[in-house]
Structure 1
Amino acid sequence: MRAEQDFFFCYNARLMGFLKRNGFSYICSALHEKSGNRFWLFPRSTELQAQIDCFNG
């Protein structure tokens, strides 16, 4: 069974687009229950984290 730390909850549409352009696929897209903000759920990996770090520059 996977735990929450196995996933990256992306709330930034620009970051989501960057990750998709760099070959990553999200598992699902949904709205946060309390805030109503859209998020995209990615499986966490070292490669994903490297791209997030690159985006945040």
Structure 2
Amino acid sequence: MINAYLYCYSPAMYHFLRAKGIRYICVGVNEKTGGRFWLFEKSDTVRTALDEYSVSSK
């Protein structure tokens, strides 16, 4: 499935998703930037939370 995973580079989004009780699959480091990212599976729960995050971050 295309786009089955969310690569989250935003600490604010990461904390929002975790506060919703959503668990990440793994954490990694971008080789080019050295920035940390968290990998989430794009479930219906994650999609709903992302919609909520988009509204709350405006």
TM-score range, shorter chain: 0.7 to 0.9
Once residues 28 and 20 of structure 1 are traced to their aligned partners in structure 2, the CA distance between those partners, rounded to angstroms, is: 13
Once residues 29 and 20 of structure 2 are traced to their aligned partners in structure 1, the CA distance between those partners, rounded to angstroms, is: 24
Q: Sequence identity, in percent? A: 33
Once residues 46 and 52 of structure 1 are traced to their aligned partners in structure 2, the CA distance between those partners, rounded to angstroms, is: 10
Q: Number of matched residues?
A: 55
RMSD (Å), alpha carbons = 1.3
Q: Tell me by how many angstroms 1:4 deviates.
A: 5.8
Where do 1:1-40 residues align within 5 Å? 5-40=3-38
TM-score by length of 1: 0.85
Matched residue SS, 2:6: strand
Structure 1 unaligned runs (5+)?
none
TM-score by length of 2: 0.84
